[in-house]
Amino acid sequence: MTQYDADVVIIGSGALGANAACQLARAGKSVIMMEAGPYIPRWKVVENYRNSASKRNWCAPYPNLPWAPNSYTDGYIEAHGDADFQYVTSFLKVAGGSTRHWASACWRLLPNDFKLKSVYGVGRDWPIDYDDLEPWYLLAEREIGVVGSADEDQSGQGRTAWPPRSAPYPLPPEAKPYMVQRMQARLGPLGYQVIHEPHARISQPYDGRPACAGNNNCEPVCPIGAMYSGDMHVDKAVALGVDLRTESVAWQLEKGAGNQIVAVHYRKPDGRNVRLRAKKFIVAAHGLETAKLLLMSEVANSSDQVGRNLMDHTGLSMTFLADEPLWTGRGSVQHGSIATRRDEPSRAQHSAIRYSLRNLVPNIDVTPSLLKQGLMGRELDAAIRDRASRIMNISTMSETLPSPTNRVIPHPSRRDAIGLPMLQVNYQLDGYVRGMRAQAYRDFANFLMAFNGEIVEAPTGWRNQYHIMGTTIMGDNPRDSVVDAHCRSWDHSNLFLATTGVMPTSATVNPTLTGIALALRLADTLIREL
Amino acid sequence: MNRRTFLRMMISSSVIISVPAIMPAALAGPGSEETLLFVSQTLTGRQGLDPAISQRLYLLLSRQTHDFDQQLTRLAERLRRHIHLSPEERLAQLSEEEVTTALSIITPWYLGYTGNPATTRATDDAQFVTFLSALMYEPTASITPRPSYSQRGHDYWQAVPEGVTAPPMPENITAWGTDSPRAARVITEPQPEWLAMVEGRARTHADAVRLLSHAEDVNHDAV
C-alpha cells in the first residue's frame, strides 16, 4: 500500500494556498504547506520599513534570500518586450506571500468578464460563469473580511447594484475621505461616477483584527493587521495542524503511473533535497513561479500553454497638482474608484479601463524635487505643505488579452544560490491595450480640467500594476488550456493550481479575491474527492 | 541650482537664519560630528536636532565625500565668522562650493536618507539616516500621519482637513452607494488644451493655450 506524507501538499503559502490549506485542515485532511521563503512576523516588517532608506520599495522590508529571491532581485527576472515598456512585477517570497505588501482591493469580476469572447468577440471565455463563482466569492469575502457597499453599481454606470450578490458584504464601507468627496463633487458633473472600492482593510473589528486606523501604510505593511494578508491564514492553518515548511523550495513534480503526480522534490538552503509524497498536489506559487515549476518538471503542458498568456493591467498614470487642497494621505493608500469605462461596448475594440485613485502621504514624492530646486527653510516647508495638499495621482487598470507569445520560462542560464533557474519573461503590449490610450487621454483631460490641474507627470508611459494572470490558463478544451473549470490539470488528475495564473481574462480589477474564491472552490473539490 | 537662486531662497526664509543659542565648543576645531550638528541646525533653522542622527549623517557624508571634513569646516567657519552679520549678509558670503555642501547636509535631514532609493530593484545606494525625525513630515504633521502609526482614531479622514474651507458640496457627498450623488448622464467632451497637457505637450493650461494658439497661427500662415 502506498505510503503518503500527507493527503495534500500545497506548494506556496500565499493567500490562495493558505486559504485552501485552512479549508482542507478544517475538513480533517492532513496538509503540508511549503514556502520558499521564511516566516517573518508583522512587527519585524514594520521595524524594517521604518529603518529602511527606500520607503517606496515595497519589497524592501521583507527578507530577500539567495534561495528565495523576490521579483526585485537584480537579474532574477530577465524581461524582453517593447522598446517603450519594460515588464516589471512585484512579488515576495515569504510566508503569506505577496498580499503581505498589497493594498487589498477586493473586487469581484463582472458577469461579462467571464465571457469576453462571446459578448465582445475578443480574448477568451471562462469555462465557468459568474454564478458558478458567486458562492465562493462570498466565502472568500467572509474569510478575509471584505468591506464593501452592496448597493453599488460596480460597473460604474450609476444604475442598480451590480454584480448580483447572494448576501451583503461582511463589513460596511469605511468613511469616505475628503479627497474622494472632492473627486466626486468635481468629476460627477462631467459624467464620472466615483464609487466605493471594496477592500480588506476592515472598517470594524473582525476576526480578531482591529479596524483600520488610517495609518496610510497598507503598502508595504499594515502595522496593526487591520488589512488582510496571507499570513493570517498561514497562522490559522498552522493552528489547525497544517505542517508549514518554510525555506523549502519546490523544484520538481514527479510523475508516476497513470500520469499521476506522485511526489514533489524540494531543496533546502543547504542544498539538501527532500521528497514528499501525497495523494493530491496544489501548486499555489503565483503566476510566474507556478508556471516555472511546471515547465521545470515537464508536467501539465500537453497544451503547450504553460507559461504563456501572461497578463497584467498594464496602463497609464497621471500625476497633477489640483487648484485646491485635497490632502491625499488621510486614511488608507487607496479609496474609491472610477469604473465608468469598466464594461462598455468599446471592449470589442480596445481595453476596458478602471481608474484607481492614489491616496498616499506624498511627502516623500514631492520633497526631493523641491530640494533639487534649492528651496530651503520656511519656503521649503511651505512648498512641501502646498504640494502635499494638492498632488493627486490617477492611474488606469487596463485589460490585457491572453497572447501565447507573452510568456514566462525558466531562465536558460541564470541560476539562484541553490542552482534553480531564474525567470525569463517576454511581454509585449498589443493593439488591444494600446488602443485604449485615446480613450484614457480624453478622460484624463477631463480629470485635469475638473481640477484646473498642472501636470507633474503626464500619462505618456506604460506601467504594470503587478497583477500576474494567465500563465496556467483555464479553459474547456485540453488542447488550448492548462487546467479545467476546477483548476485541475488536464494532464494529471491529482494536480491542482491555486493561482491567478488560471484566469482566462484579466478584466480591470485586482485579481486576488477571484484567486481566493477559486482556491476555496478547488479545496472543496479536493475535500469531496479525498 | 546656482548660487544666486540659493541666496534668494535663503534670504526669503527668515526662520533658517537664526543661529542656535549655544555655539558648540567643537566648532573651533576641524570638521567633526558636533560641527555638523551646529551647521545642520543653522541651515534648517531648527533647534534640538538629534545628535545621534547627526553622528550617523556625519559618517555617511564622510564616506561619500572624501574631503567632507574640510568642506564642513569651511562652511562652519564661514557661518561662524559672519555670525555678527545679518542673515542675508552672512549667506552672501557663501561660495558655490559651500552652497553645495549646505544642500548635501539639508537634503538628508529632510528626506531621511542619502543616495537614490530604488523602487523596483533590491539594491541601491540609499542609506538610512532617520525616519521619525525626517523633517519633510513636519510641515504636514497636523493633517497627515508619518506613515506607520496615525494615532488619529478611526475615520478621521472624512472630516474637512484642518485649515481647509470646503467648497459647497451636496449634503450626501459623504455617502457611498445609491445614497451618494449621481454623476451627470453624459460624459463631457474634453477640450484640446487639457488634451495637450495629458499628451505631455504642456505642463500648465496657460502653456497649452499658448501652444495651441501658436499652432493655429502656423496653420493660418500655411493657408
User: pLDDT tens digit string along A154-207?
Assistant: 998 888 899 999 999 999 999 999 999 999 999 999 999 999 999 999 999 999
The angle, 0 to 180 degrees and rounded to 10, between the axes of the packed helices B68-81 and B33-44 is 50
Residue in this structure with the C-alpha cell 541553490, named with its chain if needed: A418
How far away is chain B from the Cα of A279, in angstroms, using its nearest Cα? 38
Smallest CA-to-CA distance from B209 within B193, B190, B191, B189 is with B193
Contact list, B132 vs chain A (CB under 8 Å): 50
Which of B82, B114, B146 is where one domain is finished? B114
User: Are residue B107 and residue B7 in the same domain, yes or no?
Assistant: yes
Q: Of B72, B88, B114, which residue sits at a domain end?
A: B114
Q: Measuring CA to CA, which residue among A334, A506, A503 is closest to residue A436? A: A506
Per-residue pLDDT reduced to its tens digit, A227-274: 999 999 999 999 999 999 999 999 999 999 999 999 999 999 999 999
Residue of B nearest to A70 (CA): B122
pLDDT in tens, A412-431: 999 999 999 999 999 999 99
Q: Smallest Cα–Cα separation from A354: which of A345, A346, A367, A342? A: A342
Contacts of A72 in chain B (CB under 8 A): 118, 120-122
Tell me if B204 is assigned to some domain: yes
Q: Specify whether the CB–CB gap between B48 and B38 falls below 8 A.
A: no
Higher pLDDT, A353 or B151: A353
Q: How many domains are contained in chain B?
A: 2
Question: Quick one: residue A140, left, alpha or beta (phi over 0 = left, psi -120 to 50 = alpha)?
Answer: alpha
Q: Span A282-300, mean pLDDT?
A: 98
* Amino acid residing at B120: T
**Cα–Cα distances in Å, from A451 out to A333, A498, B88, B189?**
21, 43, 38, 16
Q: Is residue B187 part of a domain?
A: yes
Q: Measuring CA to CA, which residue among A147, A154, A150 is closest to residue A170?
A: A147
DSSP state of A99: G
In terms of domains, do B108 and B195 share one? no
Residue to mutate among B3, B194, B203, B211, with most A CBs inside 10 A, is: B194
B196 part of a folded domain: yes
Q: Is residue B39 part of a domain?
A: yes
Cβ neighbours for B60, distance < 8 A, ≥ 6 positions apart = B108, B114, B127, B129
In this structure, are residues A85 and A218 in contact, taking their beta carbons and an 8 Å threshold? no
> Do B96 and B182 belong to one domain?
no
Average pLDDT over residues B64-88: 85
- Please classify residue A495 by burial: count the beta carbons closer than 10 Å to its beta carbon, then call 0-12 exposed, 13-18 middle and 19+ buried: buried
CA gap B61, A448 in Å, rounded: 41
Q: Residue A395 is which amino acid? A: S
Helix, strand, or coil (residue A485) = coil
| CB nearest A53 (choices: B15, B126, B138) | B126
Q: Are residues B104 and B194 in the same domain?
A: no
CA distance B84 to B89: 9
Structural domain includes residue B25: yes
Enclosing domain of residue B210: 173-223
Give the integer Cα–Cα distance in Å for A522 and A495.
Answer: 11
- Whole-complex ipTM: 0.96
Whether A389 and B143 lie within 8 Å, measured CB to CB = yes
The secondary structure element, H or E, covering residue A321 is strand A317-321
Q: Say yes or no: B108 and B177 in one domain.
A: no
Amino acid at A360: L
Q: Which residues in chain A have Cβ-Cβ distances shorter than 8 Å to B1? A: 372-374
Q: Where are the beta strands (DSSP E) in A48-145?
A: 77-81
Pull the grid cell for residue B37. Answer: 550638528
* Whether residues B108 and B183 fall in one domain: no
Residues B106 and B39 in one domain: yes
pLDDT band at A317 (very low <50, low <70, confident <90, very high): very high
pTM for the full predicted model? 0.95
Rounded distance, CA A455 to CA A447, Å? 11
Percent of chain A's residues with pLDDT above 90: 97
Do residue B86 and residue B11 come from a single domain? Answer: yes
Q: Tell me if A45 sits within 8 A of A100, measured CB to CB.
A: yes
At A49-72, the pLDDT tens digits run 999 999 999 999 999 999 999 999
Among B114, B143, B162, residue at a domain's last position: B114
User: Which of B14, B145, B163 shows the shortest C-beta gap to A216?
Assistant: B145
Inter-chain CB proximity B199 and A458 less than 8 Å = yes
* B106 touching chain A per CB within 8 A: yes
Question: Do the strands A194-195 and A495-497 form a parallel or antiparallel pair, or are they unpaired?
Answer: unpaired
Taking CA–CA distances from A205, the nearest residue in chain B reads: B154
Strand order of the sheet with strand A194-195? A194-195, A334-338, A353-358, A391-398, A317-321, A454-457
Exposure b/e, A178-189, CB count within 10 A at least 16 = b: bbbbbbbbbbbe
Q: Is the pLDDT of residue B52 over 70?
A: yes
d(CA A146, CA A137): 10
Partner-chain contact A175 B157, CB within 8 Å? yes
**Tens of pLDDT along A395-413?**
999 999 999 999 999 999 9
Q: How far is CA A134 from the centre of its chain?
A: 19
CA gap A269, A69 in Å, rounded: 12
Which of A363, A49, A349 is closest to A221 using CA atoms?
A: A49
Report the residue from B122, B154, B159 with minimal CB separation from A72: B122
Chain B residues with CB-CB distance to A181 below 8 A: 158, 169, 173-174
Pairing between β-strand A6-11 and β-strand A31-34 as defined by DSSP bridges: parallel
Q: What integer pLDDT is reported at residue B223 of this predicted model?
A: 52
CA A239 – CA A247 distance, rounded (Å):
19
CA–CA dist A229, A95 (Å, integer): 10
Cα–Cα separations (whole angstroms), residue A484 to A284, A300, A367:
16, 11, 51
Please give the average per-residue pLDDT across A6-15, as a whole number. Answer: 98
> How sure is the predictor about B220, in pLDDT bands with cuts at 50, 70 and 90?
low
Residue A205, Cβ neighbours under 10 Å: how many? 12
10 Å Cβ neighbour count for A331? 32
| A486 tagged catalytic | no
Cα–Cα distance measured from residue B204 to residue A452, given in angstroms and rounded to the nearest whole number: 9
Of A196, A199, A233, A467, the active-site residue reads A467
**Separation CA A457–CA A326 (nearest Å):** 18
Q: Which of B67, B65, B46, B63 is nearest to B109 (CA)?
A: B46
Choosing among A181, A182, A439, which should be mutated to test the B contact, i.e. which has the most B CBs within 10 A?
A181
| In a shared domain, residues B20 and B101 | yes
Distance of CA A300 to the CA centre of its chain: 24
How many residues make up chain A in this entry? 530
Largest CA distance in chain A: 79
Residue B146 located in a structural domain? no
A54 to B118: CB separation less than 8 angstroms, yes or no? yes
- For residues A491 and A484, is the Cβ–Cβ distance under 8 A? no
Nearest Cα to Cα of residue A497 among A14, A78, A3: A14
Instruction: Return the number of CB contacts < 8 Å for A and B.
Output: 294
* Exposure on the CB side of residue A383, measured as CA atoms within 13 A: 20
* Residue B206 contacts A, CB cutoff 8 Å: no
- The answer to whether residue B205 sits within a structural domain is yes
Q: Is the pLDDT of residue B147 over 50?
A: yes
Nine-digit cell at A481?
488550456
3-state secondary structure of B1: coil
What gap in Å lies between CA A204 and CA A455, rounded to an integer? 38
User: Is position B14 within any domain?
Assistant: yes
pLDDT at B90 over 80: no
Distance, CA of A257 to CA of A263 (rounded, Å)? 12
* Domains of chain A with bracketed CATH: 1-106+131-145+228-305+405-418+483-499+508-530 (3.50.50.60), 156-209+315-399+430-461 (3.30.410)
Instruction: Note which residues in 20-49 of chain B have CB less than 8 A from chain A.
Output: 43-45
Predicted pLDDT at A375? 84
